[in-house]
Structure 1
Amino acid sequence: MRAYALLLVALLVLAPWAAQAQPVPRPNAPITPVAADVRNDSVPEACAEKDNVALTFSNPAIRRFRVEAVHPAYIGTLQRDRTAPDWTACDMSGDPVVPARPRREVLFTSDHYRLVGFTFPSFWRPADVPVRIGANVFSGLHMVQLFVPQGAGRYEVLVFYPPDGYWRARPLPPFPLRETAYGSSVLLGPVEVQGRPLVRLKEVAFQPDLGAFTLSFAAGGSAQLRITTLDAERQVLDVTLDGTPGDRPFAALRSMYVTAFNNDVSSVAWRAPGAAGWKEGQIMDFPGGQALGLWAGRLTPSRHNTSSPDMVFGPFGANP
């Protein structure tokens, strides 16, 4: 989990918000579905700030897929949101610590997007992945936020961590909520384990005209991540892979589950090839298997990141 990083951000900057936004619409290109092999490596955990939920997606034939961040079904019933970190039963003393000099820097601003970069006092990996925007290259960043216009201000909709390849997305807030929480993270690209699952990035480049990020991987190959839908219901990311991750997964979901009332994801639903409908169950009991699409989220409110979005993976496609 990244509660420490988000707490530092809250102290450094307040993201503006307003009730309505005017995102630039982008069409969703059709995907011819194929199945991904989904593996569940989730383990029990008592600390709510550790990512113990781990789903990985594999199939070397897959070249395109879609990831959606969707408001939970109960979002319209919320009277109180809970976003504060919960350090109960947490011992982080054994985590790696790489010191750095804190800084905040506006990387890019236009009518449609603003990128803000952060370096924290420490992180678990060195900040050695450059972020490129046109001819400008920024180094030493632990986190980058993407803001879009909303009313008279701006709203943060996407955040990524260059040192380990984690991404978080959220839709625009539905009326009357002014803001919603982040929750689960996704990994995009060749997933490997170095103490914890990660994607080693060589560079991240942002293309403002497309609303797209190009990810160059240290293991070889690249991917383009493009925001194709952004509204008060969902955010859709279309991902195109160039090159193959080999025997490694091409994507992963990272989240947390302590109990049914303290989690960022508690339930899962998936559609197997040839199945007439969806199967569903509890995230910690999910057996894995082939899936044309997968939803991971919550059916009832949690005491942790109550408004954070559900995550949907798929369709997956072999077509470029």
Structure 2
Amino acid sequence: MTKRLVLVMVLVALLVLGGTMPSFAQTDVPAFGPFAFTLDGGFAQYTFAYAGDGSEIAVELGFAPGDAIAQRGVALKLYGPDGAVVETGAAEFGMVTLTASPAAEGSYTVEAANYHENLPMQFSLVLRGEGISDVAAVEAAAEPEAEADEAEAEAPEAEEVPVDDAAGAQEPVAEEEEPQGPEAGVFGPFPFTLGRGFANATFGCAGDVVIDLSYAPGDALAESGVGLKLYGPDGAEAATGAKSFGVATIEATCIDGTYTVEIANYHENLPIQFSLVIRGDGVSDVSAVELAEPVEVAEVEVVDSAEPEADAE
């Protein structure tokens, strides 16, 4: 009774002093997406109609890999009906976000970019806003060719300078360049998308191994349903991945044999994009990532201990 009386008195005091009750954030804002796509360098664009009513436009772009190196090449921009940049996204821990509340009505464009030349990246785009409608993908346009190509075509050919054989001049010998392959001991990235379920990859291992699994979206909700485990040649669990900001990592030491890495998505209705990299000087014969049933953990046979027989008296 006393607590109820105190509560009533507090409410009356708020009304008398002109106070207002706290408002709660709305959770029914329309959302569009997620739109999943992969960029091996280049751009992807989505257009949408905006009512111009000053309501907030929120854009979230998850990307994988989500490490600091990959993040440097990711960009997110919002363009208005006049083609001018309205807002630029801020990237942090596998996610780029931007918000804007423009006044102009018309067609807006959100652009995602991957500026890495040899790093395919997976993206997941979500748009939110009460004034948004008619979201549509735009076919990615090729990057503008460098003007140097035109300058090279227009440049006059250089005159050949005759070489005086009597002077003993020798033509330079062209050195053969060795082909540049992938870094030794690094396998991947292997990109794939996984709904609720499991995916496995096997590899030979003798020594230290590091397994990096990037995933997008990389927020806390998505992360709660991601699993990464390593199983040894005997089928027993050898290590479990540590998750942090869109990346799960395993560091382990292998004995000579075939190991299995298992990736899991436990979410019912949230497809997640993954990118797997396996590193180690003793790693070999890495298989493709395949959808699979969860690895059966080797069972340890338990032998019931017999009761000691009583000594005959």
TM bin, normalised by shorter chain, reads under 0.3
Q: Which of 1 and 2 has greater Rg?
A: 2
TM-score (norm 2): 0.24
TM-score (norm 1): 0.23
**Greater share of residues in helix:** 2
Which structure carries more relative contact order (alpha carbon 8 Å, separation 6+)? 1
